[in-house]
Structure 1
Amino acid sequence: MKTSYRFSTALLALWVGLPLPLAASETEVVNLTLVPGWQAEDGTHVAGLAIALAPGWKTYWRSPGDSGIPPLVDFSRSTNLAKGTLEFPAPTTFDINGMTSVGYTSDVIFPLLLTPEVADSPMHVEAHVMLGVCKDICVPFEITVAADLLAGIPYEGTSASELRDALTARPTPSDAALTCQTEMTASGQTLTTHLTLPASDAAEFAIIELADREIWVSEAQTTRQGDALTVSVSLEHVGGHGFTFDPATLRLTLLTGPTALDLTGCD
């Protein structure tokens, strides 16, 4: 329901005005650590946010479902950092209060791809992280983690191996062609996508995202006929007015058990 989306948006806005963020050691529910990682051959520094959850607690993926809260990271207090990108391992689905959410039910590492402003110079990375965690209730947290990352750090150690596993666990890009059809409804549009993809023995769960976050996207309905997969969602603008979207910005993630496919753009 759109009300859940609006609630999440309002909650994220409130976070910005909260006082001092929690340090990682100040909560027994969730603990964050910045994994230093290594510097890749192209100069990008591969680091990670390691999220440790208390038993029974869950956290969310970038598109968490109507009842979830997506993680956000602010790098603005970092130095010698031109760009920071938050990456996500393939998530899973779970039920909270009768609603399907998308995220993680145990500890997880979010890879960070960091581009320095000045190559071959150290970076001070300060990540102000806003995320939601849920058990019987949902709680928003703000946590700041920081580290000085030296240029030329090699790939080594257990933490680097775990970070490499998190990178490998990201949804796999697919070049399968997507076609899209839209139909106007009383409150917005119905979007139907078609693609040809071999069926999997695992249950399939599809998630459609649009670049415009003011457009609410419902939980997807999927149907199959052999290798033909159809994914349908309802679209509504959170402001209640008409809208258009660029099909090239559409992103479809297909979860199939522990793995996932990542498809972008449709005709």
Structure 2
Amino acid sequence: MKRTLIPLILSALLAPLPASAMDVIKGEILQGWVRPDGNRVAAIRMTMAPGWKTYWRAPGDMGIPPHFDWAGSKNLSAVAVEWPTPTVFREENLTTIGYKDQVVLPLVITLPTKGAPVHLKTTIDMGVCLDVCVPAQLHLDGVIDTDATRAEPAIAASLAQRPYTAKEARVAKATCAIRFVDGDLELETTITLPNTGGPELVVIETGHPDLWVSEADTTRHGNTLTSKVDVAHSTGGPIALNRAHIRMTVLGSKHAVDIQGCTPG
């Protein structure tokens, strides 16, 4: 798909929310626990109206990636969202990636003052979908002050659903080849790993928010998984790729694998 079509397609998919965003998706903060290092694990639980879904961090060719704004939070120096393995939704001429009905997003929160509560304040801009995809926004505000050290079951279950690491999945090698084809930048990744269950989808992220990446054309031969994507700048600017920042997630029917970085191929 050519990048000039992206704004037109997104415009066609966006429509007014049915009544209000709160009728479609609700959010709440889960307290979690204190880690041995004094930092905290908490979570955001999103519950959608029946049949509705929201997007993963890499939502597919036409999805709306979620954006978290933590401004106004107190006793918080960093937040890492730990994404559970998403579902691949395949429809005619459209593939999106996300979560249906409900998702728990674990948060690993780094505190400048250990032992003190965290005032967590966030605005989440996202997309939600049923027959059409629409923009939504959540505002969450709460104090995390538990002194529990035992894992909270709902958050622990979500953490257990994260993709395997490259080491856990026995990835032997991951290479990236960057080339221009008919004036467009093409990125080809080659990953050596056991089969994750077909059909497999490789999601490629560049680490640069202004770069658009097409859906991967993926093929497997034995233990070699090859994927090709087109990469374009959202505003037509120059493209710079750092192989160390390229992230490849293999989504198979049996399990998923998260691979950070690649070598020249």
Matched letter for residue 167 of structure 1: L
User: Which of these residues, 116, 120, 125, is aligned with residue 115 of structure 2?
Assistant: 120
TM-fit CA distance, 1:183: 1.8
User: After the TM superposition, which segments of 4 or more aligned residues of structure 1 sit over 4 Å from their partners?
Assistant: 3-10
Answer yes or no: is the 8 Å Cα contact 1:6–1:238 preserved in 2: no
Q: Distance in 1 between matches of 2:254 and 2:26?
A: 24
Structure 2 runs not aligned, ≥5 long: 12-19
The one-character-per-residue Cα deviations of 1:128-175 (angstroms, maximum 9, x if unpaired) are 11111011122211111122112633326xxx2011011111112104
Decide whether the 8 Å contact of 2:31 with 2:43 is kept in 1.
yes
- What is the match of residue 17 of structure 2? none
TM-score of the superposed pair, with normalisation by structure 2 = 0.87
Contact 1:8-1:69 at 8 Å conserved across structures: no
Q: 1:163 aligns with which of 155, 164, 181?
A: 155
- The C-alpha deviation readout for 1:103-140, integer Å capped at 9, x for no partner, is 11231111111111211111111121111101112221
> Pick from 23, 41, 64: which aligns with 1:46?
41
Q: Residue 14 of structure 1 aligns with which residue? A: none
Question: In 2, distance between residues paired with 1:198 and 1:97?
Answer: 29
Give 3-state SS (helix, strand or coil) of 1:165's partner: helix
Match of residue 174 from structure 1: 166
Aligned pairs for 1:201-240 within 5 A: 201-240=197-236
Deviations 1:245-264 (A, max 9, x none): 11111000001125310001
For the residues of structure 2 that align with 1:119 and 1:266, how far apart are their CA atoms?
36
Check the 8 A contact 1:5/1:216 in 2, yes or no: no
1:98 to 75, 93, 98: 93
- Report the Cα offset of residue 78 of structure 1: 0.8
Match of 1:71 in 2: 66
| Partner residue, 1:246 | 242
Which of 13, 35, 49 is the equivalent residue of 2:30? Answer: 35
- Report if the CA contact (8 A) 2:119-2:143 is conserved: yes
Relative to structure 2, which stretch is displaced further, 106-115 or 181-190?
181-190
SS at match of 2:229: strand
- Partner letter of residue 26 of structure 2? N
The amino acid that maps onto 1:202 is G
Partners of 1:37 and 1:8 in 2: how far apart? 40
| Structure 1 residue 96 displacement after superposition | 5.4
**How far has the Cα of 1:33 moved from its partner?**
0.9
Cα distance change of structure 1 residues 184 and 73 upon mapping to structure 2, 3 Å threshold: same
CA displacement, residues 175-228 of structure 1 (integer Å, 9 cap, x when unaligned): 422111122123321111112111244321110000122221110111111111
Matched residue count: 250
Which one of 254, 258, 262 corresponds to residue 262 of structure 1? 258
Provide the C-alpha distance between the structure 1 equivalents of 2:197 and 2:67, rounded to a whole number of angstroms: 34
TM-score (norm 1): 0.86
Deviates more, 1:131-140 or 1:144-153: 144-153
* Matching residue of 2:142: 147
| Superposed CA offset, 1:6-31 (max 9, x none) | 57999xxxxxxxxxxx8xxx722111
| Post-superposition offset of 1:240 | 2.9
* Letter paired with 2:228: S
SS in 1 for 2:60: coil
1-side partners of 2:237 and 2:67: how far apart?
Answer: 27
Indicate how the Cα distance of structure 1 residues 171 and 233 shifts in structure 2: closer, same or farther if over 3 A, else same. same
